[in-house]
Structure 1
């Protein structure tokens, strides 16, 4: 049953990734970036106690599902060429909880580690270090490290990618925006690490 569930979820991720799909390559790129940031964390010796408990394969594979709930967001919002209204943005924010509900319906036991990791990515990658994020308003280290990692790479890829509502930012501009989010949007330790290895991110993005 677990193999069937994981196959279904991988198929969903593949669908979301194809050109013209929901994410148009975003999932694969964020997976590469989060693997790079994880390698940098391990080399620097930060958060080793937590990282050492992770199943690396499941961690990386499950990161592809962080935007799973966007299946439930209408194209009129996902592909809108202009700025979202307040109501539209509130509906967009529901993709986190919608994704969580989808995963929870597929869980068969507490031992399904892959789905546990997926739930963390889905439910916490829009939380902010200062507590102003969603869906739970978690703050600082209340936010799982998985979510704090995804927050940076998710924003970085969104900034340097063209979207229906904006042109792509340069790598330099994206780095500046992430640096400005230190202590507000992002874990300061992770921002400092990202800044120290920003050239590697630029080469991955090329």
Structure 2
């Protein structure tokens, strides 16, 4: 995978500078098939989806597709951080990589399953601990998605997906992260305690950048 590519489950994102566009264009691929692109048209983020080689529409799992669009929006939207109204944490520039690395390393071995692209899936109990740890590290959960994992197979649960934006009026990152995590904790706490339930996360750093856990 190239340095400017990101994989979200089977979806692959590539970032390109294209003549006529003021911001990078993100192209979406399903393995080697071109799915579409995301770009900034000067006023808003636009998603353009193409048909497959046979002229048929792509059938995409909602969860990975939604997470891919979140990642793409951060790349192409020049106002992403402004819309979140985040005040930069002066300590974040040096510490964010360390804190993110710490979170990932602490929970890496606790994933019930990891996709080929490296995305982790955690049982409910571990997921709640994961959210608590995000609180401690000043990281904010922006997306949670639930699946059933049985027989080494993931089954998407379209009703178990939630994306969060800050409800707090504060522009301080610590308060924004805490608010995001409170929302995520409330949602995951309501989900079933069945043994097959696993949860995937998208997490935001103090600068507004996100990563898949």
- Higher helix fraction (1 or 2): 1
Which of 1 and 2 has greater Rg? 2
Q: TM-score, normalised by structure 1?
A: 0.30
TM-score for the superposition, normalised by structure 2:
0.29
